[in-house]
Amino acid sequence: DIQMTQSPASLSASLEEIVTITCQASQDIGNWLAWYQQKPGKSPQLLIYGATSLADGVPSRFSGSRSGTQYSLKISRLQVEDIGIYYCLQAYSAPLTFGSGTKLEIK
């Protein structure tokens, strides 16, 4: 199974700050990587797919990048509505596996 190592586990940042979350894949998954946001008490929402493509309706302050088997989600200017837990997903091969999550809070 492909392991996705996500960091940090939690993050506290100020409004308008740049935030970066990373996922390291245990093997090559190409661009088969997605990012999800889960707000408190809600179901996950797709933010990024194909490592870098923005899902419909997602603000442009969210972006994804890849360097080898390391993937990053960047929030360029943190807003209050961005609080929640963020997960990466490898969609390269079954079993599809998620990262352990990053809890994002406002400082």
Check residue 89 for interaction with other proteins (CB under 8 A).
yes
Mapped onto helix, strand or coil, the DSSP state of residue 7 is: strand
Please state the closest distance from residue 34 (CB atom) to other proteins, in A.
5
From the list 19, 23, 34, 104, which residue makes contact with other proteins (rule: CB under 8 A)?
34
Check residue 55 for interaction with other proteins (CB under 8 A).
yes
Euclidean distance between the first and the last CA atom of the chain, given in angstroms as a whole number = 36
**How many residues can be counted in the chain?**
107
Query: Could you tell me how many residues of this chain bind other proteins (CB under 8 A)?
Result: 21
Mapped onto helix, strand or coil, the DSSP state of residue 80 is: helix
For residues 95 and 29, what is the distance between their CA atoms, to the nearest angstrom?
Answer: 13
Residues 6 or more apart in contact with residue 40 via CB below 8 angstroms: 83, 84
Check residue 91 for interaction with other proteins (CB under 8 A).
yes
Please state the closest distance from residue 5 (CB atom) to other proteins, in A.
13
Nearer to other proteins, 65 or 100 (CB): 100
Residues in contact with other proteins by the rule CB under 8 A: 32, 34, 36, 43-46, 49, 55, 87, 89, 91-92, 94-101
